[in-house]
Chain A
Amino acid sequence: MRPLPMLAILLVAAECAGQESLDDLDKAGPAEAVTEVPKSPTAEVNGYLSNRLTGTWVSTSGPVPTRDVPSLQDLLEANVQLKVRLGKSAFAYGDLSLLLQGGWLYYRDDGAGGRERVGEHDVSSLHPLVAPSELYLSWSPASWLNLAAGKKRIVWGSGFAFNPTDLVNPPKDPTDPSFQRAGAFLARVELPFEKLTVSALFVPQVLYEKSGLPYAMFKYSDYPVDGQKPPDDQFHYLVAARLYALVYDADINLIYYFSNRFRDGFENKSRFGASFSRYFFTDYELHVDALFQTGSARSYPNHACVAAGQGPGSPDCAIPTRDAASASKLDDSAIYPRLLVGGRTMFKDESSLSIEYYYQADGFSDGEFEDAIRGLLAAKALLDQGLIVPGAGGGASGGAAPAKFSFDPLRRHYLIISYTKPKIRDDWAVGMVMIAGLQDLSGLLSPSVSWNVREWLTLSLTGFVPVRGIPVGQVKVGEESYSEYALLPFDARVLFEARAFY
């Protein structure tokens, strides 16, 4: 944006502050109920400046390569959230972050039970990034009709830490569900009525992007990009229809998805989602968030390629990097539901507790998980030998800010518990999040303490500790036993964040 219009918007925004009457507010605030309609665009600006310093005790002995995992990392984020009202019925909204990152001190497995230092090197995930979490235009030509187009996060599921029904957005971080605000490029038509809403969504897939900004979506170009031939000539998209209804004091969503090669291998695929949320006995919220589909687009290890005694060179494993895993259940006719059931309550001391159970039918069985570990160990060996180049291929990140923790469940049963107690001393709050894989009782504990130093400044300290030592349900590969959270490439991580709002 050129300096002059930007300055004009900021000046208007400054005028919006300090309202003392409704007439002041009518010039800038939420429209509709107010009789006076602003004649020129008005803007509201807020945002924050944040610095996240992370210290990680890297675990090099696991099956996941650690060459690109920094022991010390710093991330500086400048965020601006700008809402420009365009008359009574339209507005433009942007939620943009500029991220500067740095990583230092890298280690890897030395092959003799210890670790060795890796020299400072370029890590693509640490490059500077523009993260346009949202950037869209919303227009309500009638009170019963809303049109939106651009990049927007739309969440229909009721899950608190995780939403199985969400096929569109970058996933939440269960240790801090409010952290992920990034959406997807889409067009939406919505008809809100008093007790029900009907929505239709079209989401083209972003195929190429640079520094968080997309430059190809929906269909690959016919010519090579960055020296790579277009992988296919199909249209990559998702359409969705959703019905929301408030029935007997419950929020109910019914969703139908149809997609073609949208971030997975499914072609012309139908999926169904449903969510429910309601308070029972005054203080106890119960929610269900479920997705139903036939087959699975998940990559499963090829047993013939990774099993002991076979491997590279066997008839089913001519090229290990290609044949070690495939979406082998893509055309399976069995139904693989993903279901999250949870509850939430706030106690009299204002502490709050959320408990959620998540089941995914297409998660790895014990045998598949064992094969996956073998595959990872083989890949790690290839990486150490230089046969796989880390970061090759890349791929769209969705233009999202890096998460503190990515929840990418591999197996079938999970429990996510989150407890927060505010005001342990006025502005101090403590919290604890536990993510537990119920098949091998491994998991992650994330304690946190935060201090609202001022109305505009929050300091927080968060820990991440994998729990992987409980010898239940682990799989044995060679002499080692592995659990799901043994795959995390660190023994402990501490994150200190300072966030100043404006």
Chain B
Amino acid sequence: MNNLMENAMRRSIILGVAALLGQAAPVAAAEPTAAEILKKYDDTMSPKTFDALVVMIAHRQDDTTRTYKFRVMKGHDDKIRLWFFEPASAKGQEMLRVGENMWVYMPSLKRAVRIASRDSFQGGDFNNADALRVNYVADYTPVLGDSGDPKSYLLDLSAKSKDAAYDKVKLWFRKGDLMPEKAEYYAASGKMIRSMKFTDVKDFRGLRRPAHLEMKNELAQKRWSEMTWLDMKLNVEVPAQRFVVDDLGR
């Protein structure tokens, strides 16, 4: 009797689960929403906490380059701290972002100076927000656009406030794994000022993300910058005091 009841229960559970799966299947196959794609972008490009080693090479008009090597660490509440190791003239410089606030510590000044999110990052083609403020869900309102390519999604992003790095952004994603492929960045006037290519998807201790970012300055031909992520650790625990202005330079 018990066995009969158990079998009946098992069947009804299996049928119930099958029914649920049957209902869920069309949902899983549905296109992701703009908000979901943007959240995936943030999770890929700037996970909750991490510790990374990055090299930025700025290519200039005269075909020469400048190389910067820095360590970037992200703690809870979207706080970011950054240390420069190279070149020798920038060694000892540090950057910090807490909320809307950004500072650069200059060893020659022996103090931290406030900087704006749209100021150039070490004179290259990235701006400070590109390095210190990758929180697109908080900064932009996304709308799905027509990518013109069945293998890609396109997001049209509008800045929620002037603290965002750009006024408008177009972001293309690969369908399937939602890896960012390229981006275009626009001023309020509608003029494209920068464009980016995301390449060389790598596995960093469990996180797959593009390891190479190539930012082209659309206002100055021949000028572009590339950022290569050499290494990355996830889920690091950093004391809150590391994200305090007075800790810069220590």
Contact = CB atoms under 8 A, between A and B. Distances in A.
Interface of A: 19-23, 25, 29-30, 32-34, 44, 46, 48, 81, 91, 134, 138, 140, 143-144, 146, 153-155, 160, 177-179, 181, 183, 190, 192-194, 197, 199, 244, 246, 249, 251, 277-279, 281-283, 285, 345-346, 350, 422-423, 425-427, 452, 455-456, 458, 501-502
Interface in B77-135: 83, 85, 87-89, 91-92, 98-101, 106-111, 113-114, 116-120, 123
Contacts of A155: 109-111
Contacts of A25: 53, 71
B230 interface: yes
Interface of B: 51-53, 60-62, 64, 66-67, 69, 71, 73, 83, 85, 87-89, 91-92, 98-101, 106-111, 113-114, 116-120, 123, 162-163, 230-233, 236-247, 250
Contacts of A20: 53, 230-231
A32 B243 CA distance: 12
29 contacts: A20-B231, A22-B52, A22-B71, A29-B71, A29-B85, A33-B238, A34-B51, A46-B91, A143-B239, A146-B250, A178-B106, A178-B108, A178-B109, A179-B108, A181-B107, A181-B110, A194-B243, A244-B245, A249-B99, A249-B100, A251-B245, A281-B162, A282-B117, A282-B118, A282-B162, A285-B116, A422-B123, A455-B67, A456-B87
B1 to A, nearest CB: 59
B246 A197 contact: yes
B120 A350 contact: yes
B249 to A, nearest CB: 9
Nearest to B91: A46
A153 B108 CA distance: 10
A346 B110 contact: no
Contacts of B232: 22
A193 B241 contact: yes
Closest 4 CB pairs of A and B: A178-B108, A501-B88, A455-B87, A282-B162
B116 A19 contact: no
Contacts of A153: 110
A347 to B, nearest CB: 10
Contact of A181 (B73, B108, B163): B108
Contacts of B69: 19
A197 B111 contact: no
B85 A19 contact: yes
Contacts of A350: 119-120, 123
Nearest to A457: B89
Contacts of A143: 239-241
B243 to A, nearest CB: 8
Contacts of A19: 53, 69, 85
Contacts of A452: 89
B114 A193 contact: no
Contact of B101 (A246, A426, A501): A246
Output the residue of A29, A32, A155, A423 with the most chain B CB within 10 A: A32
Contacts of A278: 114
A299 B46 CA distance: 58
B240 A194 contact: yes
Nearest to A35: B236
B51 A33 contact: yes
B111 A22 contact: no
A194 B61 CA distance: 43
B23 to A, nearest CB: 45
A29 B231 CA distance: 14
A129 B123 CA distance: 35
B61 A426 contact: yes
A192 B247 contact: yes
A81 B231 contact: no
A197 B244 CA distance: 9
Contacts of A30: 71, 83
A91 B250 CA distance: 8
A277 B241 CA distance: 21
Contacts of B123: 350, 422-423
B93 to A, nearest CB: 11
B73 A249 contact: no
A89 B232 CA distance: 24
Contact of B116 (A181, A183, A277, A279): A279
A33 B73 CA distance: 8
Nearest to B83: A30
Contacts of A426: 60-62, 64
Contacts of A179: 108
A456 B106 contact: no
A427 B71 contact: no
Given A155-B111, A246-B98, A456 B88 contact: yes
A22 B233 contact: yes
B244 A183 contact: no
A199 B163 CA distance: 31
A359 B163 CA distance: 33
Contacts of A244: 245-246
Contacts of B230: 20-21
Output the residue of B109, B237, B238 with the most chain A CB within 10 A: B109
A29 to B, nearest CB: 6
Contacts of B118: 282-283
B9 to A, nearest CB: 49
A450 to B, nearest CB: 12
Contact of B66 (A48, A144, A455): A455
Given A22-B232, A155-B110, A426-B61, 20 more contacts: A20-B231, A21-B53, A29-B83, A29-B85, A32-B242, A44-B91, A46-B91, A81-B92, A143-B240, A155-B109, A181-B107, A192-B241, A194-B240, A194-B241, A194-B244, A350-B120, A422-B123, A423-B123, A455-B87, A458-B89
Nearest to A138: B250
Output the residue of A22, A29, A160, A249 with the most chain B CB within 10 A: A22
Given A181-B108, A244-B246, A501-B87, A22 B241 contact: no
Contacts of A197: 244-246
B250 A502 contact: no
A25 B232 CA distance: 12
A282 B67 contact: no
Nearest to B66: A455
A394 to B, nearest CB: 27
A51 B26 CA distance: 73
A144 B60 CA distance: 43
A279 B118 CA distance: 12
A190 B111 CA distance: 15
Contacts of A346: 116, 119-120
Nearest to B242: A32
A74 B83 CA distance: 35
B114 A277 contact: yes
